Structure 1
Amino acid sequence: MESESILITGAEILDVNGVRRASVLIEDDIIREISADLSPGDADIVIDGHEKLMIPGLVNTHTHLSMTLFRGVADDLPLDRWLNDHIWPMEARLSGEYCYAGALLGCAEMIKSGTTAFNDMYFFMDDVARAVDEAGLRCVLSHGMIDLGDDEKRRAELKKSRRIIRKCHGMADGRVMVALGPHSPYTCSEELLKETASMAAEHGIKIHIHLSETEDEVKNVLESHGKTPVEFLDDTGVLGPGTVAAHCVWLSDDEMEILADRDVKVSHNPSSNMKLASGVSPVTKLIERGVNVSLGTDGAASNNNLDMIEEMKTASLLQKVSLQDPTALPARRVLEMGTINGAESLGIDAGVIEEGKKADIVLLNVRRPHLVPWRNPASHLVYSASGSDVETVICNGEILLDGGELERINENYVMEVAEEAAEELTSRG
């Protein structure tokens, strides 16, 4: 069965190439034509783009999707207590069905706030893949591996990752890809990290890892290995062009140079870093060194939402206040981080509105009081808009959100299932 062609007429387009007005024709999963001359008769479905802003689908390069079930749990605590006393004990009670419910809720939230692709590290990833397949999004999934120096645990974690690669990589017509997810330099042994690097090369897949998130992590790795986290990972072979390193808050100048030399992709998570008081990532310095820096929300337990439009504003303002420089990380640059930088980090041929690119597109309603007067699209998107302004979402050429309503999944059902799962999880034990 052939997919229906879609024409979006007369929208104002904003991406890395600037602002322009045109109509966009989508056929199958590709942006086929961008022109002022297209007419409604050119497509099966016509969407009126007037008084709408068209942007590339937002790309969330670091999250733990099923942690939507832990939203509002253990707020206002330092990372070590948050993890050890609350999150990890609850995660020990997770099941595939719980992770499916949380992932489906996360997909609904992301679609409704303009995200079309994401990079996820968590557990029961085949169940997460099932939710993503149903919701229609695009993703890179990795099983979060932690061995803490235990040989038996290391073998078990690598076995789980191999199973997920075999079962899920390339499913949902290629919308689901699999990466390897060693949790961090302080929870993974040197042996696990080296085997991760070898397996990633063998399968031609990416690596997703937490890196230098807190000052305590740096001290811990220095004491354990006599090297900084970046130096340690570099020695294991984990750092390379296919690696997405989340957080990267506590970096020396030398470490930033290593990340740049290895072409490591960095996922900046400003809201989570602020909420857990982890620190401020040197984003401006990384960009100056040519590092691809994208944006992630982290999990909903440490953010507490998955709104990438909100994340863009937070990223910009955090750099400005930390550097005491109002010119730091301007709106156009942070839009790049949320779109094309993220797409490139995950190996997705999207992130820009161009002919031949994947049809991952978002339309925002700009006739809202907080967006009037409408005069500067990039500024209004980053500093004034929110995920609730998203009206239409197209991923892989399919309409997932139409007039603010989810098309593939039932929003009320998703919320009910997630509510039940969250209640069971937090009431047990």
Structure 2
Amino acid sequence: MKTAYINAAFFTMDQKNQIFNNGLMIIENEMIIYIGSFQNQLVEEAENIVDLKGKWVMPGLVNTHSHIVMTLLRGIGDDMLLKPWLETRIWPLEAQFTTEIAQVSTELGMLEMLKSGTTSFSDMFNPKGIDADAVMEKIGETGIRGAFSYTIFSLGTEKEQQAHLLEAERFAKKYKTSANGRLTTMVAPHSPYACTTEALLESVRIAKENELMIHIHVSETDYEIADIQQRYGHRPVEYLRRLGIFDSPTVMAHGVVLNEEEREILKAYDVRVAHNPISNLKLGSGVADIVRLLDHGIKVGIATDGVASNNNFDMFEEMRTAALLQKGMYKDATKLPAKTTLSLATRVGAEAIGMNSTGSLEQGKQADFITIYPYDKEHLQPLSEAASHLLYAANGRDVCDVYINGQLIVKDRSCLTIDEEKVIYETNRLQAKLKR
């Protein structure tokens, strides 16, 4: 069935960054088959017509690095540096998670992502003590698109580490394609500091044998650089390159501490960077030089990280912070302009995590899009400057409707696939059980 969406301003975020005021978008079989100026003949051929009543329409946002199973830990461990934050707060609390806690925490994260306009995500989760299959099933029910990846750690005895790797490989094989193609997974060694060399080499093998991407934290802090150099005689990027990590398509979360030689390596191996500006600021890790990465032709996506270090999944806030940081760091207002930044949170972000079928409104792409109703929002006035407002003024609470594969997932700020009241109740009930 063809559905025509009319009476809206369409921001395509394609290579040309086209805007179609009072435009037209037609969807058939979950795909966009037309996007452009209004044509009455095409509307007449559609079986279904949706009047968007003057809304702004843009591609769904793409969150390239998150930790949704940790959503229930929001606000715990504030004002701490990364290493003690992980070792004394986050990991001990995650060790108490049950499958029920993980499912509710995940559902809360999905709810927040969807209602703030994220339609695709890439995530790493700690599987300790939980039924990972049950969590993946819960994600599938929400209707979102994404990659949910089993994090590989090197903890416990050698036998326990081996069992962990076997389970990670099972999960990777089972969920390479899931939820009718909406969900996938990656091979996700946590980091060079939390994995042994043997675990990283196993990650390389699993990724190659199953033709999967790799998702890993790299070069997040000065401490990490010094630690890995002391342990292995190389900085993290070179160490991972020598192990073959970058021989598979790789998403590198953070990349805060990089030198010129490392940027050249990332470019040569087509390593993509998931930029988490607010989390990096809050944890005192620093500010990644995104301008220089882009100048090298490296794909950069915007990301929130987990809400325990952010503390929300609002990608509008994240991309605005990313743009302002680069302008301030360079003392140059021309750096990371609005069109570029918006593309990193949509089309380029989708490409970075291997989801090339989404991220922009153009013929042949999946119908993943969001709407904003600006007329009753003073911060989105004047209407004539909408292209600016999407970056510099809008926020996740402005999102009205969310469509994924052409299916309405959020309608008038109400999520149709998640029981919002139940999730919020269960979040607070279960969080109270954690011993701190």
Q: Is the 8 A contact 2:214 2:248 kept in 1?
A: no
1:395 equivalent to 2:404? Answer yes
Pick aligned residue for 1:58 from 54, 57, 61:
61
Task: Report the counterpart of residue 150 of structure 2 in structure 1.
Answer: 143
Q: How does 1:295-306 map to 2 (within 5 A)?
A: 295-306=302-313
What amino acid maps onto 2:152 in structure 1? M
Matched, 1:350 2:358: yes
Counterparts of 2:2 and 2:91, CA distance in 1: 46
Establish whether residue 204 from structure 1 lines up as the match of residue 211 from structure 2: yes
**Residue 201 of structure 2 corresponds to which residue in structure 1?**
194
Deviation at residue 277 of structure 1 after TM alignment: 0.9
Corresponding position of 1:26: 27
Q: For 2:57, what is the secondary structure of its paired residue?
A: strand
Q: Which moved more, 1:222-231 or 1:395-404?
A: 395-404
State how far apart, in whole Å, the 2-side matches of 1:310 and 1:142 are: 25
Identify which of 176, 180, 201 aligns with 1:173.
180
Structure 2 CA distance for aligned equivalents of residues 82 and 45 of structure 1: 52
The residue identity in structure 2 corresponding to 1:328 is K
- The one-letter code sitting in structure 2 at the alignment partner of 1:30 is M
Query: 2:251 aligns to what?
Result: 244
What is the aligned-residue RMSD (CA, Å)?
1.7
Moved more, 109-118 or 168-177: 168-177
Structure 2 unaligned blocks of 5 or more: none
Structure 1 position 184 matched with structure 2 position 180: no
Q: 1:84 aligns with which of 78, 84, 87?
A: 87
C-alpha contact 2:59 2:369 (8 A) present in aligned 1 = yes
Structure 1 unaligned blocks of 5 or more = none
- 2:388 corresponds to 1:379: yes
Match of 2:277 among 262, 266, 270: 270
The alignment's TM-score, normalised by the length of structure 1, stands at: 0.95
Aligned pairs (5 A) from 1:42-53? 42-43=45-46, 45-53=48-56
The residue aligned with 1:292 is: 299
Q: How many residues align?
A: 424
Match of 1:97 in 2: 100
Where do 1:105-120 residues align within 5 Å? 105-120=108-123
How far apart, CA to CA, are the structure 1 residues paired with 2:4 and 2:163?
Answer: 49
Structure 1 pair 5–417 and aligned structure 2 pair: CA distance change class (3 A) = farther
TM-superposition CA deviations, 1:104-123 (whole Å, max 9, x none): 11111011000001001013
Aligned to 1:214: 221
User: Which amino acid letter does the alignment assign opposite residue 283 of structure 2?
Assistant: L
C-alpha contact (below 8 Å) 1:179/1:208 kept by paired residues: yes
Name 1:424's counterpart in structure 2.
433
The worse-fitting range, judged by mean Cα deviation, of 309-318 and 190-199 is 190-199
Q: Which is worse superposed, 308-317 or 152-161?
A: 152-161
Q: Which amino acid in structure 1 is aligned with residue 374 of structure 2?
A: V
Q: Decide whether aligned partners of structure 1 residues 240 and 149 sit closer, same or farther in structure 2, where only a CA change above 3 A counts.
A: farther
| Maintained 8 Å contact 1:62/1:120 | yes
Counterpart for residue 37 of structure 1? 39
CA separation in 2, counterparts of 1:89 and 1:213? 21
Match of 1:9 in 2: 6
Q: Deviations over 1:313-346 (max 9, x none)?
A: 0100111111211111111111111001111122
Moved over 6 A (4+): none
More deviation, 14-23/136-145: 14-23
**Partner amino acid for 2:6?**
T
Say whether residues 1:361 and 2:369 are aligned partners.
yes
Shift of 1:422: 1.8
When structure 1 is superposed on structure 2, of 344-353 and 13-22 the one drifting more is 13-22
**SS of residue matched to 2:203:** helix
User: Matched residues in 1 for 2:371 and 2:47: separation?
Assistant: 19
How far is 1:145 from its partner? 0.9
SS in structure 2 of the partner of residue 251 of structure 1: coil
- Structure 2: distance between partners of 1:305 and 1:335: 19
Question: Residue 56 of structure 1 contacts residue 353 of structure 1 at CA under 8 Å; is this kept in 2?
Answer: yes
Following superposition, the deviation at residue 268 of structure 1 comes to: 0.3
Q: Which moved more, 1:27-36 or 1:313-322?
A: 27-36
CA contact (8 A) 1:67 1:300 kept: yes
TM-score computed with the length of structure 2 as normaliser: 0.94
Secondary structure, counterpart of 1:366 in structure 2:
coil
Q: For structure 1, which segment, 296-305 or 364-373, has the greater mean C-alpha deviation from structure 2 after superposition?
A: 364-373
